Chain A
């Protein structure tokens, strides 16, 4: 039982627990907080694999910005507990079993295929320097495109969320 494994299992348990809790909770704010827990645990997993930059970005951007945005919106809209509405039978009857079957299949494939490959702790160090080297040389175009994407997202979000009369005021 290596330390690597213990750490992995610890973080893994937090992930699993958070995910299940997200499904189990009725109030969306509880689900949001579980999701933050999941993300934090995932950051730990990334560190175990040596991806320090990614782990940092995970915490800062994902857990720190995106989830905060979610929490803001939940608070803004004053979302309450979920009502029980009869939605779609198809989703529950066909979708869930289908997904479970699919995931079981994938799991089976993974287990069949895997031999003795093992990942060492900190296997691939992802230094910011190396990442930056890739990012600004080999993946420059995607980088620039994603910046444009973010710009579009900002404009879209502003337009979508603004109130109708406020735009009218701006025109005047």
Chain B
């Protein structure tokens, strides 16, 4: 019998922090707000560690019932929590990285007037994300799913007085909702066919079903619909468009939500539903194709971006594509492994980028940076480590996880692997491009006002309050911001080592192997070890080639890139404008919707039908009373006439009743 872990405390602690800061924060001192925020998120992390320590003594999966929720006929959904190896990994990542980012934010947001609101929202996000991870049924997970969308909206539009930030928040939420529609339909299908949303019951109901290899059936439909939801939340094609815009939010938000945790919710959800996906190969193929395409597509856009955060945003989309590629070929544990390492190095990249932006007083355009490594050495060091990690240079974390994915992808189809390797090359290229443009060469900023363009430097709004900062020399960030950077750098260095010898995969095996169809085996170790080493070599080669190309173009011959861009003018313009996807969506979906809504719904229905009905009713009453009022003429004789006529009617009725009665 399992001991009571009180898992419910893990989400509730940040919720308490959010509530306290939200209600009392405005009048409290910054120190008080900081203490509350750090205490509750730290407490959640501590509890996660405590659960991890007791983990080996549990019989898994561990379920914990908290409270009744829905009891409707035969359908029940309760507040119940579910813990297995997969949730534990996610739990540690979310609470750990989350806590580090909380600490970082203390320094980053110190001068913001809405300091308390930021931490309230951040804690609220932690609550929803932890609910999502620990949920024991799809419905509770969906609450967390929606909640993180809400928190994302609140945090992207944190500086809501800025139009672009408010619009970005709206865009994120609306695009997310489109994905959620797919998710909901999948839930409805689950309820319809299995009568429950409880993980245990659903998976045990799905397990005996055969794989749908011949034709698409129910499980394929559910799988594809779940993937639609994941596309929205995890920014895959076609619903990725919100993530680059989400960079309007403060950098810690980008680090936490749009790199490390929220966007990985889709990957987690797909992995959690592996039982369904393992029986719907067509759905898995869809997942793999979407992931691969997105990885490549976003990487190509990343080459041309000049805003440091936008590069990282497209990089996130691309790396998420890798994770879905892994899930799509059935290597769920590889996907989760990459999720974990990605949280480390992408979180670090964003935090370091925030440090860079802080250093140059709000400027985000890389063309105005350069040569910063002498000014901000610690940031340079940590960011460099992260870049090495993401490029896949061994023995850092990114190498192990990316390589695992590529190896598994190769076993499924060499096409996936080929696209993956090319994308790895491109990834390495644009990341080192970022590094060289930012930290090497001559410092190109500071000629004009270092507060930078108002359109870029929304951080400038914060720096304005500081005054005196940002003019002239770039400066290093305070220790409270640097320490999380260093911790994440260490994790990026060694975090991948858990993957050596397939230890990570074996850790998660009880989760994923349990979903396998009896008889088939995911162990495709038929392919030889030699092939694996060969492929490993090729991906390392790709990483170094990308590095070298970036070194050549941006360090040695910085005049070349503009010439190349001019030479490939049409192609370059298309890529710089993100393949005009936003414009296409606006023309095909948004504009007709708005037009239709204006013409048909507003003017047609609301004004001409609903308003008109009400107005006509009022006018009608007025007209009728206008006619009837002539009865009150003040003339006695007309009154008497009406009385006589009325009495005649009554007498007539009585006579008629009398004759009928006879």
Contact = CB atoms under 8 A, between A and B. Distances in A.
Interface of A: 87-96, 98-99, 101-102, 105-106, 108-109
A24 to B, nearest CB: 18
A91 B633 CA distance: 12
B659 to A, nearest CB: 8
Nearest to B637: A91
Interface stretch (B431-439, B455-463, B641-649): B641-649
A102 B658 contact: no
16 contacts: A87-B635, A88-B637, A90-B638, A90-B641, A91-B635, A91-B637, A91-B638, A94-B642, A94-B645, A95-B640, A95-B644, A98-B645, A99-B647, A99-B648, A105-B651, A109-B658
Contacts of A101: 648, 652
Interface in B429-480: none
Nearest to B646: A98
A88 B647 contact: no
Nearest to A102: B648
A99 B637 contact: no
Contacts of B649: 98
Given A105-B652, A109-B655, A91 B647 contact: no
Nearest to B650: A102
Contacts, number: 59
B644 A88 contact: no
A23 to B, nearest CB: 14
A99 B644 contact: yes
A91 B648 contact: no
The main secondary structure of chain A at its interface with chain B is: helix
Contacts of B642: 90, 94-95
A88 B638 CA distance: 5
Contacts of A94: 641-642, 644-645
A99 B644 CA distance: 6
Given A94-B642, A99-B647, 14 more contacts: A87-B635, A88-B633, A91-B637, A94-B645, A95-B643, A95-B645, A98-B645, A99-B644, A101-B652, A102-B644, A102-B652, A106-B651, A106-B655, A109-B655
Interface centre among A89, A94, A98, A108 (most CB of B within 10 A): A98
Nearest to B651: A102
Contacts of A105: 648, 651-652, 655
B642 to A, nearest CB: 6
Contacts of A89: 638
A88 B652 contact: no
A102 B647 contact: yes
Contacts of A96: 641, 644
Interface in B620-662: 633, 635, 637-638, 640-649, 651-652, 655, 658
A87 B655 CA distance: 32
A121 to B, nearest CB: 31
Nearest to B630: A90
Contacts of B648: 98-99, 101-102, 105
A93 B640 CA distance: 12
Contacts of A92: 641
Contacts of A87: 635, 637-638
A84 B635 CA distance: 15
B641 A91 contact: yes
A92 B640 CA distance: 10
A88 to B, nearest CB: 4
Interface string B32-66: 00000000000000000000000000000000000
Contacts of B644: 94-96, 98-99, 102
Nearest to A88: B638
A107 to B, nearest CB: 11
Nearest to A105: B655
Interface centre among A91, A93, A96 (most CB of B within 10 A): A91
Nearest to A95: B641
A89 B630 CA distance: 12
A163 B646 CA distance: 39
Contacts of B640: 91, 95
Interface in B367-409: none
A98 to B, nearest CB: 4
B652 to A, nearest CB: 6
Nearest to A108: B655
Interface centre among B643, B648, B655, B658 (most CB of A within 10 A): B648
A95 B649 CA distance: 11
A89 B633 CA distance: 11
A95 B648 CA distance: 9
